[in-house]
């Protein structure tokens, strides 16, 4: 079963800066967003640099129980493991555009935002979700952050409360015909012919993890590539001991890889701090692929 530690080990061993060049050279994808998603798949599946399509597809299938699409979260689910959401931004100050889906601390199988294929990919009720956010400009990946939703986003009730209050307020407007919808609202028969309708949708955004966790690390300027990963200790030590040992042994022999004990803010109550691991990897130079 793959996990975030496997992915970090694979990245340290196979850092890729020009992700579009990498994807095109391995017949993965052409756009930078798709290229980042394919690279993330390769990191978790251990298929970075693999050219044999059949072999890669088999490993991808063994690693993931679900591969999604851009319109419904998540982008993928590790077999018997975590969900993964991949986001591309152009600079370290950009917020993440989540559109109609609010930030997820966890992914639930009863969510109206996921597909039936996602709900039925395994026998599951809830999944931890990893946000993999890449800063990509002119095909160059300069920063990749990997953080868990439970360390990054508030609980669903915080967002649902606001969504419900807005939706209820809109529907209380008199003399307007509303219909049932999963969005904030839908107004029917806007025009005299009754052929026009108005969809009222939420457009959720959240600050990117580099900004959210800048109180832990903010030195992104001097190196060609930076990985920053924040993992709460409970999640870190839930990974297989042999994987943790591999990562920590790699850190002892790799000067550019650091594992630091830190305290992070609880997204539901910042007054509460919890133990976590901050994993930083810096890489100078472009890998030829």
pLDDT at residue 208 in the model: 97
- Label residue 34 by pLDDT band (50, 70, 90): confident
pLDDT at residue 113 in the model: 84
Q: Are 88 and 31 in contact (CB under 8 A)?
A: no
pLDDT at residue 285 in the model: 61
- Label residue 28 by pLDDT band (50, 70, 90): low
Burial class (CB in 10 A: 0-12, 13-18, 19+), 125: exposed
- Label residue 24 by pLDDT band (50, 70, 90): low
d(C-alpha 32, C-alpha 85), whole Å:
16
Q: Where are the alpha helices (DSSP H) in 122-205?
A: 149-152, 156-171
Least confident of 94-98, 104-108, 283-287: 283-287
Q: Are 200 and 188 in contact (CB under 8 A)?
A: no
pLDDT at 116 over 50: yes
Question: Domain residues of the chain, as ranges?
Answer: 4-154+204-283
d(C-alpha 216, C-alpha 218), whole Å:
7
pLDDT at residue 148 in the model: 98
Q: How much is the mean pLDDT over the chain?
A: 90
């Amino acid at each position: 079963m793959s996990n975030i530690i496997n992915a970090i080990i694979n990245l340290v061993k196979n850092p890729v800066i020009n992700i579009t060049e990498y994807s095109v050279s391995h017949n993965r994808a052409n756009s930078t967003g798709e290229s980042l998603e394919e690279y993330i798949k390769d990191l978790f599946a251990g298929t970075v640099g693999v050219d044999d399509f059949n072999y890669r597809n088999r490993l991808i299938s063994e690693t993931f129980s679900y591969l999604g699409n851009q319109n419904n979260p998540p982008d993928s689910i590790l077999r018997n493991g975590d969900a993964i959401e991949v986001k591309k931004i152009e600079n370290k100050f950009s917020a993440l555009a989540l559109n109609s889906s609010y930030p997820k601390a966890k992914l639930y199988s009863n969510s109206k935002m996921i597909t039936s294929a996602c709900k039925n990919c395994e026998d599951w009720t809830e999944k931890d979700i990893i946000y993999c956010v890449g800063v990509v400009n002119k095909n160059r990946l300069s920063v990749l952050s990997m953080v868990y939703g439970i360390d990054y986003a508030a609980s669903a009730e915080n967002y649902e409360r606001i969504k419900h209050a807005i939706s209820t307020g809109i529907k209380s407007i008199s003399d307007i015909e509303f219909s049932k919808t999963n969005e904030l609202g839908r107004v029917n028969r806007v025009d005299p012919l009754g052929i026009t309708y108005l969809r009222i949708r939420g457009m959720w955004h959240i600050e990117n993890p580099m900004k959210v966790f800048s109180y832990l690390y903010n030195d992104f300027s001097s190196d060609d590539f930076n990985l920053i990963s924040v993992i709460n200790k409970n999640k870190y030590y839930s990974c297989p001991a042999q994987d943790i040992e591999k990562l920590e042994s790699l850190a002892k022999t790799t000067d550019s890889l650091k594992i630091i004990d830190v305290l992070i803010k609880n997204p539901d109550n910042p007054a509460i701090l919890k133990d976590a691991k901050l994993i930083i990897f810096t890489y100078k130079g472009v890998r030829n692929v």
